């Protein structure tokens, strides 16, 4: 089966816009490149197809390749880099991205990237994080409606109320949150470093926002008490412990690895729990014969392309927000310089600090 190719409406006409926004006037709008499948495109993209041949059928490549070729050419013309999250589809992840990773890796890269333009292939909070860390750069997101159920579960006003209720208790906020919420935060964390961040504060209690399940997982790993919010990831909350037990009963040799945004009964069934990057490292290092990745399903296709000897069992839960990002929209972003991520400077100044504190923790 194709690697979620039905989620990529290749062939959709891409309108070239009038240069009307400030960013379009500054950079100009480019002509739309040809999207024909030709022997030249086939030759020029053969090395990229070699990377994804195990997850994208040969019959589908002629639809993807002209976009891949055009995007890679326009990236150079715009002096742009593409940052892509591990949940992006394989033709984006392996064929047009310059940097791939989990939220923490992408944030670190955004802070040091050498380019005029960042195209964020991920969801809106990730693009905001890049803009906060690289305010002088133009940050584009191919679809500004790519949201996140965790980020939309809480507002800055909610955090202000919590701070009134628990005066003096520091606020640790998962990066899956809006700039508004980050502006009310002491320090951010990702699923890679949440325990370390919570313990770095040297206090016995923190307000941990907004992911209840990540918070419960962190609480199981530390003595620090966590005051939680009831935000959930709409992708990970759908998994159940019962479902995983059924997979294991059907094949006891299966290894199960899960993202900490999953509910506790799911994590109780897992052989390993970690961020998307930690899960990928685990598979690449351990090379299990059969693995079930309890997370968004594009990630299994991305890893499978690199480790074809591992058999991936895919209980496919798609993130509808991540799947808004497609090759045609990435091409449109580069042609039309859309959609620019803009953050109110007064919010940005306060929202940047907790992310910078998190990144500095490593040192």
* Binding positions for ligand 13P, rule: CB under 6 A: 86, 102-103, 176, 190-191, 233, 259, 261, 275-276
Alpha-carbon distance of 272 to 286, in angstroms, equals 11
The stretch near ligand SF4 (CB under 6 A) out of 43-51, 73-81, 195-203, 314-322 is 314-322
86 binds, among ligand SF4, ligand 13P, none (CB under 5 to 8 A by kind): ligand 13P
Alpha-carbon distance of 361 to 189, in angstroms, equals 10
Residue 302 or 332: the one with the smaller Cβ distance to ligand 13P is: 302
The stretch near ligand SF4 (CB under 6 A) out of 2-10, 13-21, 157-165, 231-239 is 231-239
Report the alpha-carbon angle 134-139-144, nearest 5: 135
Tell me the per-residue interface mask from 258 to 297 with ligand SF4, x by CB under 6 A, - otherwise.
---x----------------------------------x-
Alpha-carbon distance of 352 to 346, in angstroms, equals 11
Residue 23 or 318: the one with the smaller Cβ distance to ligand 13P is: 318
Alpha helices, DSSP H only, in the chain?
22-27, 39-52, 61-78, 90-93, 103-112, 124-133, 156-165, 179-182, 194-200, 212-221, 241-250, 264-267, 276-286, 298-306, 327-336, 345-361
Q: How far is the CB of 52 from ligand 13P (least distance, A)?
A: 20
Residue 201 or 318: the one with the smaller Cβ distance to ligand SF4 is: 318
149 binds, among ligand SF4, ligand 13P, none (CB under 5 to 8 A by kind): ligand SF4
Residue 122 or 328: the one with the smaller Cβ distance to ligand 13P is: 122
Least Cα distance to 84 among 61, 108, 64, 103 occurs for: 103
SS3 of residue 225 by DSSP: strand
Residue 75 or 85: the one with the smaller Cβ distance to ligand SF4 is: 85
Burial of 308 (0-12, 13-18, 19+ CB in 10 A): exposed
Contact 123, 175 (CB under 8 A): no
Q: How far is the CB of 113 from ligand 13P (least distance, A)?
A: 18
102 binds, among ligand SF4, ligand 13P, none (CB under 5 to 8 A by kind): ligand 13P
Residue 69 or 85: the one with the smaller Cβ distance to ligand 13P is: 85
Read off the tokens for 188: 């951010």
Residue 212 or 296: the one with the smaller Cβ distance to ligand SF4 is: 296
Q: How far is the CB of 8 from ligand SF4 (least distance, A)?
A: 17
Least Cα distance to 239 among 276, 264, 209, 275 occurs for: 264
Contact set for ligand SF4, span 170-229 (CB under 6 A): 176
Considering the rule CB under 6 A, would residue 149 count as an interface residue with ligand SF4? yes
Residue 105 or 336: the one with the smaller Cβ distance to ligand SF4 is: 105
The stretch near ligand SF4 (CB under 6 A) out of 15-23, 299-307, 318-326, 354-362 is 318-326
351 CB-side CA count, 13 A: 25
Alpha-carbon distance of 174 to 31, in angstroms, equals 40
Least Cα distance to 175 among 245, 118, 91, 108 occurs for: 108
Q: How far is the CB of 232 from ligand SF4 (least distance, A)?
A: 8
Alpha-carbon distance of 277 to 275, in angstroms, equals 5
Q: How far is the CB of 103 from ligand 13P (least distance, A)?
A: 3
The set of residues, in sequence order, having a beta carbon less than 8 Å from that of 362 and lying 6+ positions away, is none
Binding residues vs ligand SF4 (CB under 6 A): 123, 148-150, 176, 233-235, 261, 296, 319, 321-322
């Amino acid at each position: 089966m194709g690697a979620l190719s039905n989620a990529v409406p290749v062939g959709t006409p891409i309108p070239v816009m009038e240069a009307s926004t400030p960013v379009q006037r500054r950079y100009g709008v480019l002509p739309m490149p040809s999207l024909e499948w030709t022997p030249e495109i086939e030759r020029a993209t053969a090395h990229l197809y070699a990377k994804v041949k195990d997850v994208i059928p040969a019959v589908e490549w002629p639809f993807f390749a002209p976009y891949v070729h055009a995007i890679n050419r326009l990236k150079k013309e715009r002096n742009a880099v593409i940052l892509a999250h591990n949940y992006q589809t394989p033709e984006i992840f392996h064929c047009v991205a310059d940097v791939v990773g989990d939220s923490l890796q992408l944030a670190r890269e955004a802070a040091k990237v050498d380019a005029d333009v960042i195209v964020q292939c991920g969801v809106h909070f990730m693009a905001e994080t890049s803009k906060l860390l690289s305010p002088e750069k133009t940050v584009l997101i191919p679809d500004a409606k790519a949201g996140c159920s965790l980020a939309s579960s809480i507002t800055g006003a909610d955090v202000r109320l919590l701070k009134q209720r628990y005066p003096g208790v520091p606020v640790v906020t998962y990066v899956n949150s809006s700039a508004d919420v980050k502006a009310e935060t002491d320090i951010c964390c990702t699923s890679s470093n949440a325990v370390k961040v919570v313990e770095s504060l040297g206090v016995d209690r923190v307000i941990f926002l907004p992911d209840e399940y990540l918070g419960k997982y962190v609480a199981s790993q530390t003595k620090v008490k966590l005051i939680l919010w009831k935000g959930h990831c709409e992708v990970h909350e759908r998994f159940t412990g019962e479902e995983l037990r059924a997979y294991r009963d059907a094949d006891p040799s299966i290894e199960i690895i899960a993202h900490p945004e999953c509910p506790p009964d799911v994590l109780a069934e897992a052989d390993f729990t970690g961020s998307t990057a930690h899960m990928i490292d685990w598979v690449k290092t351990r090379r299990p014969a059969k693995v079930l990745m309890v997370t968004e399903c594009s990630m299994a296709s991305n890893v499978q392309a690199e480790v074809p000897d591992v058999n991936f069992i895919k209980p496919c839960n798609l993130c509808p927000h991540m799947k808004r990002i497609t090759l045609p929209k990435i091409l449109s972003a580069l042609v039309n310089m859309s959609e620019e991520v803009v953050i109110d400077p007064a919010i940005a100044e306060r929202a940047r600090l907790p992310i910078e504190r998190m990144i500095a923790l490593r040192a």
